[in-house]
Amino acid sequence: MTTRNVLAAVDVREKGDSLEVGQPVSLFPFHHSLRTYRLGMIDYDVSSDGMRFLLNAAADENTRPLTLVVNWTAELKKK
């Protein structure tokens, strides 16, 4: 991860008794809360094939509230 809210990948190769590190390649941007970033608690995981990512990030504070409808099948029977 970079300080610019971008997940990046870097090639790492074994070269003799040391490691050779390539240039970072940006993968995709992400959002996070400033507090989480400062605490270093941005958690993520990568699928075994390297094609999918799971990023644990807080929801946007401006999201709409969730509406849960219970017993909705009873309402359908009334109509």
| pLDDT tens digits, one per residue of 13-65 | 999 999 999 999 988 887 665 555 555 556 778 899 988 888 776 656 666 77
Largest CA distance in the chain: 75
Q: Tell me which residue of 53, 32, 34, 31 sits closest to 44, measured CA to CA.
A: 53
Give the integer Cα–Cα distance in Å for 5 and 41: 13
**Per the structure block, which two tokens stand in for 49?**
């094939």
Give the integer Cα–Cα distance in Å for 15 and 10: 15
Tokens 């509230």 found at: 65
Q: Which amino acid is at 29?
A: P
pTM over 0.75: no
